[in-house]
Structure formats: structure tokens, C-alpha cells
Chain A
Amino acid sequence: MPGTTRRLREERFEGIGVCNGVAIGAAFLVDDPRGRVLRVFLPPEEIEAEVARLHQAVQAAQQQLQDARKRLQDALGDEYAWILEAHLLLLQDSSFIRQIEQFIRERRANAEWAVKDVTRKLLDVYATISDEYLRERSSDITDVTNRLIRILAGTKPRDLSALAQEAIIVADDLLPSVTAELDTGKVLGFVCNTGGPTSHTAIIARSLGIPAAVGLRNITSRVRSGETIIIDGSTGTVIVRPTPETLRFYSEQREREQQQLLRDLEERELPSITADGTKIALRANIELLDDTEPLHRYNAEGIGLYRSEFLYSQVQSGLPTEEEQFEVYKILAETSGAAGAVIRTFDLGGDKLRLEGFEEEPNPALGLRAIRLSLTIEEVFRTQLRAILRAAAFGNLKIVLPLISNLDELRSAKRIIAEVERELREQKIRHGEDIEIGVMVEVPAAVVMVETLAREADFFSLGTNDLIQYLLAVDRVNENVSRLYEPLHPAVLRAIKYAADAAHKTQIPLSVCGEMASNPAQVVVLLGLGIRDFSMTPAAIPQVRRIIRAVDLNQAREIAAHAISLTTPAEVNRYVQTQIARRWAHFLTPAPTFV
């Protein structure tokens, strides 16, 4: 590939590490819909080579178009082939190619940049002429130039299923629909321009247990497909085109991590009990179906949270059908054992996925999402419930409702579930009976109302990610305020304690299933607040189990009691870190944090 041969210097970028570990591999750029391209100033002696690279790419593009034209001509006839003929003529148009060449020479720009810029100028000219004609013609021009840029950059149109070899995925943002296409067995890591610690890229990376860094701003324009890239997922550092020294340093680190992984496997059968003998449940959060393997690898006690909306993104045609869902839920029922699986009904809308036909909302986090959306488009909800109830005949499935903010929502949902169950009974379709229905405690109102909700809920799942976001009014993905996202904020600890106490008093089980459950230091505090049930990304289970086995509940209570009495997040952080480091540091090495 012309784009991969030229040697540029090592560059380092600092992002946010969202899943621990070191990954080293070839970059694979996912086609960026916004069309950002690599921009570098070339040393004068490289200009001619760059012009030559442009001409090579033009030739390759012509070859592609000729092949495509031939296929089209055979399949659809002469008329359609003329469209590609126009594209070919553009590549043969010397005035066009000359403009690009000139840009490379005058600006000392790389070819991708030149193509992009010349195209933009052409389109600007078009924008000033008749609107009606603009569309078709400009799309022909962009079609050709995108092809050219793809060839130059060595990227492919988003055909990720065809990853030929192991690679590190580089993208603007990792859309769930993109991940669905990935051959995850070949993905070594993720690097994204945007996103924060709890973005979907982060969740996906953790569920796959592969290193990832996000929030790198413009990484997609700083690396080409095929170039070597290193991710240090614990620090968020990303290095492109590493020198041999850098490469050696990180290879050694990766080696140490792999040994740790082997140790984790050896310890997988150890029981999850505290030093003083209290049994703690460690469950797995799952979002993709190929996730159920780690369930066994890390010896999780069933699935504490299945994020069903990921199904939505895995189906090409929009919403998954009842049968498609049934097949997936059935696998969950069958693989999760006696402990079972908790299926969270679609948490769509908001910052996640939008359903077609619904307007973009000015304030999606506070808008029509999750249970609100399910109760609005009841048909979609009923289809999902039918699939869950049917699959419940094959194992222990439970339903948890996301974003409950009042008792009415719980009642409406339960009424619909009862109706769906009656319907299945009448139709004599095999299904599970008396399935447990739980409530996600993630809206502050639900925390305050836990005792009331307890009268009609079978269990609670406390989702720390959303609870922190709503309690602290912080958009966790917004770089301007993300530092205010503090899991150990005293307000968060007090809210969790309030919920844990109320659940205990009403004897309704409560499980914590946000990112806090995968952070060993935070787990100690949660133990001290009375939490005995955790659901987390499977890869975090070994280190959480290790700390749980080392901790005496009295120590944990002591730490939590003091932490909750402190006044600022910084004080709590400092205190907790000091305590953990003093008492259990040796259990946390070498990778102490899952952000």
C-alpha cells in the first residue's frame, strides 16, 4: 500500500486510558465519516516522493474503477457504467491532478491533505452555483476523492469483519454499530478521538478485556493504517511509529501483564469471601454475546447486568425481532447457570443510540430514553418482553428496568409484563413464570425513594455511572467537566449508603453494577457501606476477588465510615488511596486501577 511505506518520526499522544494493559500492533483506521485526513508538513527532500505516491494512488484508483465499471456493465448495462466513467475521467483530468500536485509542492503537504483541500475548494465553488445540481455532482467528486484518500491512507471502507490480521482499531468514535461488525478476536485495542472513561468504547473495550484509550482529539489524522501503534491503557498514552527502544520498553510491560493474567487464571477457583468469611457475589456485566466466554474464564456468579440495547446495534435492519432477541436471551439463560442473568430492558435514547423517527433532543440525558422510551413505544417493549419471558423457560432470567424515577413507571412496566405473560399463556407458548422484576437505581429520585420502590420491586441494581452523572450533574464524556465526575464524592457515598441501608431494611437484594464495582479501592469502600453484591466487567473480577479475599469487613466499615464523614472528593480520594496503599498495596500490583 502506498500509504504505509514512508517512515515518519515517533509521536506520543495523551488520552484517557479506559481499559488497562498494553497493546502493540498495526493501526487499522476505520473510515471516518467526517473525512479527517492525515496532515503533515514534509521535509523538502520528500516532496517528489509524495507526488509520486499521489500518482500511484491515482493509478490504483483508476484500476479499482475500471474493475468496478466492468462488473457494473455486465450486471446493469451501459447506462450505469457511465457514472463510473465520469469518476475515471476525473482521475484522468490533468487540470484536477495538477491542482493537487501543486498543493503538495507549495504547501509541502502530504498527498491526503492535498486531495482533501483541493476537493474542498472545488466543492466550495459548487456551493455557489445552482443548488439543485450541487448534490449529484458534488457527491461524484467526493466519491472519487474519498477513494483516492482511502488508497493513500491505506484505509478501507468500513468493512471491519474482514480484518485480515490482528490490529488496533483507530476511529473517531467507536459506534456500537461499528463494533458489531468487528471480528473481535482480531482486535488488539481501541484508540478514539472522542469519548471518556465511561463511554461506549470504554465499556466495549473492558468487556472484551482489551486495552483502549479515548479522548485523543485527532489521533485519526496522525496515524495511517498499517503503521505500528502502542496503547498503554492504564495511562492513556498512545505512541505511533515507536522507536525500537520504545517498542522494547512496552513489549516487556506487556510480557509482565500476560504473566499476571496467567496468575489470575490460577486463582479463578478461589472463593469470593472476605478475610473474615463473608460471602460476596461477583457477577459479570455483559453487552455482546461473545462475552459469555469470560464468564467462565473469570468464574463469575452469573450475569449481573446484560445491556440489551447492544442487540439493537448488532442488527442491521434496526430493531431486533422477537426471534432474534429470543435466541440471544436463551443463550444467556443457558450459560449463566443457577445464578442466572439480569437483562436490562433497552436503554436506548440519550447518549446511547437513537431510534429513527425520533427527533434529536436538546438534552438527551434528561430526555426520552430507557424506560420512558419503552413506555412510549410500547410495541418495541412488548416484543422485548415476549422474547425475555420465552427465554426464561430455559434458565434463570430476571428483568431490570432502567432509569426508573417514580413508582408509576415501575407499575406500568409490571402491568405490561403481566399482560405479555397472559398473552403467552393464552397462546400456549412456552415461557418462564413469575420472573423477578428489578429496578435500576440510577436517578437520584430512585435513591430517595428506595424504600417505597422496595414494596413493589424484587431487587435493585445500583448503576453507579448514571447515578454519579445525575447526582453530580456532570456529563461524563464532556472533557470540560469530566474531572468533576468523582465516584468518591461524599454525596455519592452518602447516596449509596442511603440506598444500601434502605434495601437492607426492606430485605430487598441490591447489587452495584457500575464502573465503581470494578475498581478495587472503591470496592473496599462499597463493602464498608454494606454492599455484598457486585457486577462488573469480567476482566476486573480477578483483581476485585483478590482484594475482597484480603479485606476484613470491619476494616472496610472503618474506612467507609471515615470516608463518608469527609467533606470534599479530594479528601476522600486521598484518604482512601492512603488506606489502600498502606494495607493492601501488594494485592493490587501491578495494575491497581480499572478507571
Chain B
Amino acid sequence: MQQRTVTITNRLGLHARAAARLVKLAAAFNSRISLSRCDGREASADARSILAVLMLAATQNTQLQITTEGEDEVMAMEALCSLIADRFGEN
């Protein structure tokens, strides 16, 4: 199991487009992937459910804990972290 804390840095946060990218990416791996807010608000979200991801209401500067578990957990973690660090490709 991998666990890492990341900060959402893009201006709009995890809005629909960003969430869509994250969910698509998460679906490419076999590992179980979940996200939860570090402030404990909201239950942890299955990264494959866009509804759950949206419900995290992660705005800019929200800290999220990512958990990946499975055969490709390391790769999944790397991919997700770089997507977030890359601000979901937004300017």
C-alpha cells in the first residue's frame, strides 16, 4: 500500500474537468485507489467514481491523502501525483 499527501494547486480545484481526468487516469490501473481530505471532512472517495471525487469538494490548496493498493500501486501513485502537480494540464 502506498500513501501520500498532496496539495491541489490548480486554481479551480477538483472541478468537473479535473475530476474527469483524475478518474480516467485512476481507471487505467488495477490498484484500488482512494482519496480523502486531510481535514477529515467527507468520507474517503473511490477515485473511480467521479461523483465521489466531486463530493470531496477539493478547492485550491486542499490537502488530499492518496492511497493506492494493488500490484501497480507505485505506478498509480506516481501517475496521480504528477497529474495533480501538473495542475491537470491547466495553465
Residues of A within 8 A of B (CB): 79, 82-83, 85-87, 89-90, 93-96, 122, 125-126, 129-130, 132-133, 136-137, 140-141
Contacts and interface: CB of A to CB of B under 8 A. Distances in A.
Nearest to A143: B16
Contacts of A90: 50-51
A314 to B, nearest CB: 36
B16 A136 contact: yes
A136 B13 CA distance: 11
Nearest to B88: A82
Interface string B1-37: 0000000000011011101110110000000000000
Report the interface size class on chain B.
20 to 34
B65 interface: no
B16 A140 contact: yes
B57 A86 contact: no
Given A85-B24, A130-B57, 8 more contacts: A83-B17, A85-B21, A89-B19, A93-B49, A122-B55, A126-B57, A136-B15, A136-B16
Interface of B: 12-13, 15-17, 19-21, 23-24, 46, 49-52, 54-55, 57, 59, 89
A129 B57 contact: yes
Contacts of A137: 15-16, 54
For B21, B50, B57, the residue with the greatest tally of chain A CB atoms inside 10 Å of its CB is B50
A95 B46 contact: yes
A83 B21 CA distance: 10
A125 B42 CA distance: 11
A95 B49 contact: yes
A86 B16 contact: yes
Contacts of B59: 130, 132-133
Given A129-B57, A130-B57, A122 B51 contact: yes
B13 A96 contact: no
24 contacts: A79-B17, A82-B17, A82-B20, A85-B17, A85-B20, A86-B17, A86-B20, A87-B16, A89-B50, A93-B50, A93-B51, A93-B52, A95-B46, A95-B49, A95-B51, A95-B52, A96-B49, A96-B51, A122-B51, A126-B57, A129-B57, A130-B59, A133-B15, A136-B12
B51 A133 contact: no
A83 B51 contact: no
A89 B15 contact: no
A90 B55 CA distance: 12
Contacts of A86: 16-17, 19-20, 50
Contacts of B17: 79, 82-83, 85-86
Contacts of A141: 54
A82 B54 CA distance: 15
Contacts of B15: 133, 136-137
A96 B54 CA distance: 12
Given A94-B49, A95-B52, A140-B16, A89 B24 contact: yes
A86 B21 CA distance: 8
B91 to A, nearest CB: 10
Nearest to A83: B17
A69 to B, nearest CB: 11
A91 to B, nearest CB: 9
Contacts of B21: 82, 85
Contacts of A126: 55, 57
A273 B57 CA distance: 76
* 4 tightest A-B CB contacts, nearest first: A86-B20, A86-B16, A129-B57, A89-B50
